[in-house]
Amino acid sequence: MKFSVLINEGPYTHQASDSAYQFTKAALAKGHEIFRVFFYHDGVNNATRLTTPPQDDRNIVNRWSKLAEEHKLDLVVCVAAAQRRGIVDEGEAKRNGKDATNLAPGFRISGLGQLIEAGIQSDRTVVFGD
Amino acid sequence: MLHIVNKSPLDRPSLDAVLQTAEAGAILLIEDGVYAATKGSAGEAKLKSAGGKFKLYALAPDLEARGVADRVMDGVTAVDYAGFVDLVAEHKASQSWL
């Protein structure tokens, strides 16, 4: 079955990103396809490569990047939510005159249409948030 | 419909919202939502009064993380993340009551 996942909460806040990660991993382990993981609202904060959690803590951002690499996941960050919160890739840095980028590997910035498409293309969409 | 509740009934009325508005289906308690399924809690009374309208599930890793895995009320089935995936697959739609 084809699943998509929506994450509306940042890392290390409550549990949404952790739950979504465990759900995504379990779905992949069961042979399901993950069509897309969409990060919206504060969820875009899961996509900054500049986080440095303590060494004995889980690294939520790197964990998503690694899972994306292993399973060719499409991790999409909402552009408007990202602009508000300072999540920047090269294109956005150029367009908005920023002097740095911080988008973690495996993520891409795109529009809300990607969420709508995920809802249409997937058999199931599961929402995680606060 | 699968109703996903992730907040304790002592924190937010999302479980109340499900019980008052949804007709039937399944309720999956995750994150702090699992507190509702503990024996002797206010949530237990609410879930019991729903009178078997819903199939009740709670996420086992979240029960264990909160130290309440041995106090789950009767009528609630504990599932792992694989079971969570199965519940989503079994129901045509899922609603996260955020």
CB A98, CB A110: distance < 8 Å:
no
Q: How far is A126 from chain B (nearest CA, A)?
A: 7
Cα–Cα distances (Å) from A107 to A17, A57, A70, A75, B12, in that order, read 15, 22, 13, 5, 33
Number of domain units in chain A:
1
- The band of B51, judged by pLDDT with boundaries at 50, 70 and 90, is confident
User: What domain range includes position A45?
Assistant: 2-128
Do residue A30 and residue B85 have CB atoms under 8 angstroms apart?
Answer: yes
- CATH number of the domain at B14, please: 3.40.1260.10
- CATH number of the domain at A88, please: 3.40.1260.10
User: What domain range includes position B76?
Assistant: 2-96
d(CA B13, CA B35): 13
The complex scores an ipTM of 0.97
Per-residue model confidence as pLDDT tens digits over A55-104: 999 999 999 999 999 999 999 999 999 999 999 999 999 999 999 999 99
B25 reaches A (C-beta below 8 A)? no
